[in-house]
Structure formats: structure tokens, C-alpha cells
């Protein structure tokens, strides 16, 4: 292999690595987007949206949440991811609050209307909760503001939470209050009677499913985030669990 070919291969590998970093937001660079707000008088129970969080307070996110366009939503993988936003004061000094920054959690999907809408691909858009929106924009503006955003690590109180739903051999697990990158790439479950981890499949948003009968046994979980970090949560669910209950672990991603 000649030196020119070797150099070309190295350049291609470097380009791929940099692209991967940008995809994960590790580089911390600010990107351009736009933002609106929704849910003026909605309770937290209505803000979970397409990610399936019943109540954003119970999920550990509070009211600083946002629905994101498809370019950011990634088919539900972005649920739980954190973004830092600031209104672009240089682009819109009339409606932007200067130097105001807020961190929001992705809890919903902003669907495209395929008619030039702000959430149409490939646009990056945040449809924020009203309290979050008016942390960076002036009151009286009910339109669209330009924003700058970047991926940031999620800081959570307490451990990762697991909410069990379903019936008999259909188990649906909502995973919330996830720190670190916040977005889950893969999940596994292991009952006390099992010898190995069984993979969970993403059903929708933050809800993962299995077809095993896991009743009447302690449950452990293993999660891998989009940034590659993995944690195991041993016996976080007691054998006396019932559908509808939520259990909080002692472990958390950093």
C-alpha cells in the first residue's frame, strides 16, 4: 500500500470519527435551530408526549422539556436526551433574552406537516414547554425565535427509574430519569431465575418491551447509552412487584 493510499485511508477514518463526535454532540459546538412553545396551560401529565413519560415531574424532568423535530428525535432514541439552548440575540434582539441559557429534556416529537413547516426535515426545531421558552425569549412573543443549541450531559437527582407495565408475558418498561447522555441505545432485563441477560426491544419512545413472564421474581436491568456507557442495575425490582409500580435504583450515569 503506497503512502498516498495510506494517507487517504487515515483522512477518511479521521473524517468518520469527527462526524461521529458531531452526531453525539461530544464536541460541544453550538448549532443553529428555531424554537416555539406549546402547552400554555397544560399539566405535567400532558407533556410526556411521544416518548411516553406519563408525568414529566415523576420522570425526573420537571417542566423544562421540549418536543424535537425528526432530525433530532431519531425514531425515539433521543427521548431523555438533554440540550442546552439560548435564544440567538444577534439574529433577533427584539424577542431574545440576552445571555439566558436553559437545559431541556427531550420528551416529545414535533411531527412534520410536509408543507414547509418548522419541524419538516431536515430542520432542527424545538417546540418547548411554555415555562422553558420564556426563560430565553421575551413575554409577548408567540411566534418563532432563532436559537443556538448543543448536546449536554443530563444531571439527574436520584437513580434511574423503571416503571413496569403490561400483563402476564407482555412486559413494558418505561425507563426515565437517566443521567449522562440521557438517551438509551440498548436495554436488557434479567429475572432472578434466569442465567443471562435478555434483550429488550424499544416499543415506542422510552418504553421497552419483552415477551418473557417476569412475574414473581427480582428483576435486574442493564442499559447502554448512545455515548457507549453501560451500567447494570442488580435486583432493582423486588419479587413482589406489580404492574404500574415504579422503582428507583441507586445507580446513575454521570
Mean pLDDT (the chain, rounded): 87
Sign of torsion, CA 175 181 183 186? negative
Confidence of residue 44 (pLDDT cuts 50, 70, 90): low
Residue 30 pLDDT exceeds 70: yes
Confidence of residue 48 (pLDDT cuts 50, 70, 90): low
Grid cell, residue 44, equals 405535567
Average pLDDT over residues 184-202: 97
Average pLDDT over residues 36-50: 70
Please report which helix (H) or strand (E) contains residue 138, including its range: none
Per domain, the residue ranges of the chain are 31-152, 160-249
Please report which helix (H) or strand (E) contains residue 15, including its range: helix 3-24
Nearest to 170 by CA among 133, 132, 131, 214: 214
Confidence of residue 24 (pLDDT cuts 50, 70, 90): very low
Residue 91 pLDDT exceeds 80: yes
Chain centroid to Cα 78, Å, comes to 4
Architecture of domain 160-249: Sandwich (2.60)
CATH class belonging to 31-152: mainly beta
| Distance between CA atoms of residues 92 and 146, nearest Å | 7
Confidence of residue 22 (pLDDT cuts 50, 70, 90): very low
Residues 49-82: pLDDT tens digits?
Answer: 899 998 888 888 998 999 999 999 999 999 999 9
Residue 124 pLDDT exceeds 70: yes
Global model pTM greater than 0.75: yes
Amino acid at each position: 500500500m503506497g503512502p498516498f493510499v495510506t494517507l487517504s485511508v487515515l483522512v477518511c477514518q479521521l473524517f468518520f470519527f469527527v462526524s461521529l463526535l458531531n452526531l453525539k454532540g461530544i464536541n460541544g459546538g453550538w448549532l443553529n435551530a428555531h424554537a416555539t412553545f406549546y402547552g400554555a396551560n397544560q399539566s405535567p401529565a400532558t407533556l410526556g408526549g411521544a416518548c411516553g413519560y406519563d408525568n414529566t415531574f415523576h420522570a425526573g424532568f420537571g417542566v423544562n422539556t421540549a418536543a424535537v423535530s425528526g432530525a433530532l428525535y431519531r425514531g425515539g432514541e433521543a427521548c431523555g436526551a438533554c440540550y442546552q439552548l439560548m435564544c440567538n440575540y444577534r439574529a433577533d434582539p427584539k424577542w431574545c433574552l440576552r445571555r439566558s441559557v436553559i437545559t431541556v429534556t427531550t420528551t416529545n416529537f414535533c411531527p412534520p406537516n410536509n408543507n414547509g413547516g418548522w419541524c419538516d426535515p431536515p430542520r432542527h426545531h424545538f417546540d418547548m414547554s411554555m415555562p422553558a421558552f420564556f426563560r430565553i425569549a421575551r413575554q409577548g412573543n408567540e411566534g418563532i425565535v432563532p436559537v443556538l443549541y448543543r448536546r449536554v450531559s443530563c444531571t439527574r437527582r436520584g437513580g434511574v427509574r423503571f416503571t413496569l407495565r403490561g400483563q402476564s408475558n407482555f412486559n413494558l418498561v418505561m425507563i426515565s430519569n437517566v443521567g449522562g447522555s440521557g438517551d438509551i441505545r440498548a436495554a436488557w432485563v434479567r429475572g432472578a431465575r434466569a442465567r443471562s441477560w435478555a434483550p429488550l426491544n424499544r416499543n415506542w419512545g422510552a418504553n421497552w418491551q419483552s415477551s418473557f413472564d417476569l412475574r414473581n421474581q427480582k428483576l435486574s436491568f442493564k442499559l447502554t447509552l448512545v455515548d457507549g456507557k453501560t451500567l447494570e442495575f442488580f435486583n432493582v425490582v423486588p419479587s413482589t412487584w406489580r404492574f404500574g409500580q415504579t422503582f428507583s435504583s441507586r445507580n446513575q450515569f454521570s
